[in-house]
Amino acid sequence: MSRTNEPHVLLGLDVGGTKTEAVAVSLRDGRHCRQLLEGSNYQGRGIRRAAEVWSEAIEKCLAPWAGRITEVAAAGLGVAGLDRPRDEAVIRPELEKILGSVPFVLVNDLFLVLRAGTPDGVGVAVISGTGCNAGGVAADGRRFRVGGIGPDFGDLGSATDIGIEALRKAFRALDGRDPPTVLGEIIRSRLGLERLDDIVDFFLADGPEIPGGGRMDAGLLAPLVFQAAGAGDAPAAAILEWAGKELGLAVRAVARRLFERAEPFRLVMGGSVLQRGQSPHLNDALLADVRAEFPSVVPVVLGWRPVSGAVRYALDLFEGARRNEAARAARCALVDGVFSPLEA
């Protein structure tokens, strides 16, 4: 696989707002290590704390090789919060300090989903989880991305947006401004409330934790919307269809920049909302919206952890100008063998 005196470890890092995941894989023998730490989006944590988490994750991941960064041949890094050139100017120097002379690819974490879900990194990816965005890569290497900054800036279709819409419809149905829905009762029951409006307590600065622990987040209500839609609740289904169309709009904006109307391309769907939704309303609405303009789109629901895309980026960089296809195939198989499909 590699000469004994050469660096032989591929390093992948997936930096998100809720978790940071690192994976290291040896090209010599397939030995690997995975570490999972707290979220480290620098926009929410500050660059000093974020860099501390990145450094800790990488150091722990290299424990099988005595923590030696010199064993790393290449790294792929997907970082949430890498939205503008100004963000890269903050993030890149910190990673250079940590990695030293190790060559690395640095991308927004969205592109990890695309690289993990395609054989060559070409296509469009859309994410809906805590936040949402879409981006893609053309066959000639051109990239384009939309969204990722937040709903105040036009990004709609995330778990948070779905939860907020559920609250709106529940309260408006309660007083007759909107049609009846089971959402209010499902939310009340899930949170152990006597009255639906008691939910306000969870949003207060000194309010209680929700049942099971933790602070209230509207995104936590998204699974309840899928539950209600699956049971036939029309307002819940309408929320998911609205979110799907918003995500489809983002996908089409990306695809227009990179692909011809009749050109086939993979659409990789990632994030908890798209990967684990309990009813098809959202995914169906998304695909119907995209297919109205790009009828040859090929949908792929991501079946791997996004960090696998980071390791694939590292492998791409390691391969570089190498032309030994048999050796490349063996290395790809070794890397892919490290990752198990996500649970449904």
Domain boundaries of the chain, sorted by first residue: 9-109+306-336, 152-301
**pLDDT class for 35, splitting at 50, 70, 90?**
very high
Residue 73, both tokens: 């041949």
Collapsing DSSP to helix, strand or coil, 105 comes out as strand
Laid out side by side, the sheet with 9-15 consists of: 32-38, 19-26, 9-15, 72-79, 104-108
What whole-number distance in Å separates Cα of residue 156 and Cα of residue 337? 35
Question: Each residue of 179-224: pLDDT tens digit?
Answer: 999 999 999 999 999 999 999 999 888 888 888 878 888 999 999 9
Is 3.30.420.40 the CATH classification of the domain at 152-301?
yes
Question: Each residue of 145-184: pLDDT tens digit?
Answer: 998 888 888 899 999 999 999 999 999 999 999 999 999 9
pLDDT at residue number 332: 77
What percent of the chain shows pLDDT beyond 70? 96
State pTM to two decimals. 0.90
pLDDT at residue number 331: 79
What whole-number distance in Å separates Cα of residue 336 and Cα of residue 333? 5
Mean local confidence (pLDDT), 226-233? 96
pLDDT at 8 over 90: yes
Task: Report the phi/psi class of residue 123: left, alpha or beta, with left for phi > 0 and alpha for psi in -120 to 50.
Answer: left
Question: Each residue of 323-338: pLDDT tens digit?
Answer: 666 777 777 788 778 8
pLDDT at residue number 329: 76
Tell me if 9-109+306-336 shares its fold with 152-301.
yes
Lookup result for tokens 């309010």: 207
- Of 32, 69, 25, the C-alpha closest to 312 is 25
The CATH homologous superfamily of the domain defined by 9-109+306-336 = ATPase, nucleotide binding domain (3.30.420.40)
- Residue 189 in contact with residue 259, Cβ under 8 Å? no
pLDDT at 320 over 90: no
